[in-house]
């Protein structure tokens, strides 16, 4: 049954001895921000647990840091449950090295505590972004090309229901989107690349800075699509993160 997994054992916290984790994705794995792991904090303006770094666990040292380390309005916060809280739409974590992705797979687990409207969890500028445009619509734009819209199963924005969102693009330029491992449908008014080789990249410099009142558990970014087996393993893994 999907979501149960085989040979998956969780003891406590972020330890999964004997089980699958994103390191099993090998050379595909470019960035891995792991739940409640590698997060450095400081007290800023009398506000505790302001994040100054979320360390990349992929081995590529692409750590995420806020634009400034002395302004709570620019810094996400480590919440009491171990999640990363973006509590304003100016909070961000900047990649140490900008990403330029042709083929890709980007997955993250989060929950939202307010109505989702034009929420931008990943971006570099107005020409490169991934946007949760509404609770049922995910939008992507790469290198200024025509934006791509997809319909997904509705996200519950009650602040406690975590969802796993995924976006992939294969070598033919075709996009796929997933919400809790269920694939979404692309709008006929916003066609895919048309089965032609990728001619442009999705360039990303940061997470946040456009996402408001959301708690993030984990982020996994790859430079290739996932196999069905890898996708199911990743979903099983993320389902158990933070539970």
- We report the CATH number of the domain holding residue 33 as 2.60.120.200
**pLDDT for residue 192:** 52
* 2 falls within a domain: no
**pLDDT for residue 96:** 97
With CA atoms as reference, report the closest residue to 35 among 91, 96, 84: 84
**pLDDT for residue 109:** 98
**pLDDT for residue 173:** 84
Whole-number Å distance between alpha carbons of 51 and 226: 30
Number of folded domains that form the chain: 1
Answering whether pTM is above 0.85, one says yes
* 222 falls within a domain: yes
Query: Domain span at residue 83?
Result: 28-240
* 151 falls within a domain: yes
**pLDDT for residue 29:** 98
* 161 falls within a domain: yes
* 75 falls within a domain: yes
**pLDDT for residue 196:** 58
**pLDDT for residue 179:** 94
Distances from the Cα of 227 to the Cα of 1, 6, 195, 230, angstroms: 18, 17, 19, 5
Buried b / exposed e over 119-158, threshold 16 CB at 10 Å, is bbbbbbeeebbbbbbbbebbbbbbeeeeebbbebeebebe
* 5 falls within a domain: no
**pLDDT for residue 115:** 86
* 88 falls within a domain: yes
Q: Cβ neighbours of residue 228 under 8 Å, at least 6 residues apart? A: none
* 73 falls within a domain: yes
Q: How high is the mean pLDDT in each 10-residue block of the chain (243 residues)?
A: 28 54 97 97 94 97 95 94 92 96 96 91 93 93 87 92 94 89 67 61 92 92 96 96 88
């Amino acid at each position: 049954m999907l979501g149960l997994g085989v040979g998956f054992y969780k003891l406590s916290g972020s330890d999964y001895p004997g089980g699958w984790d994103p390191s099993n994705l090998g050379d595909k794995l470019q960035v891995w921000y792991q739940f409640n792991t590698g997060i450095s904090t400081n007290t800023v303006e009398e506000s505790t647990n302001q994040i100054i770094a979320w360390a990349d666990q992929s081995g590529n040292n692409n750590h995420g840091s806020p634009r400034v380390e002395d302004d709570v309005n620019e810094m996400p916060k480590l919440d009491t449950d171990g999640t990363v809280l973006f509590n304003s739409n100016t909070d961000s974590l900047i990649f140490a090295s900008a990403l330029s992705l042709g083929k890709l797979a980007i997955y993250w687990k989060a929950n939202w505590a307010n109505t989702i409207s034009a929420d931008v969890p990943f971006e570099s500028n107005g020409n490169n972004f991934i946007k949760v445009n509404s609770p049922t619509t995910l939008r992507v734009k790469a290198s200024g090309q025509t934006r791509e819209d997809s319909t997904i199963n509705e996200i519950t924005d009650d602040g406690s229901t975590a969802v796993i969102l995924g976006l992939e693009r294969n070598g033919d330029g075709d996009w796929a989107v997933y919400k809790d491992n269920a694939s979404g449908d692309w709008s006929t008014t916003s066609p895919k690349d048309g089965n032609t080789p990728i001619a442009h990249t999705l360039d990303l410099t940061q997470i946040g800075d456009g996402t408001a009142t959301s708690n993030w558990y984990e982020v996994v970014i790859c430079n290739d699509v996932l196999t069905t087996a890898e996708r199911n393993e990743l979903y099983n893994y993320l389902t158990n993160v933070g539970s």
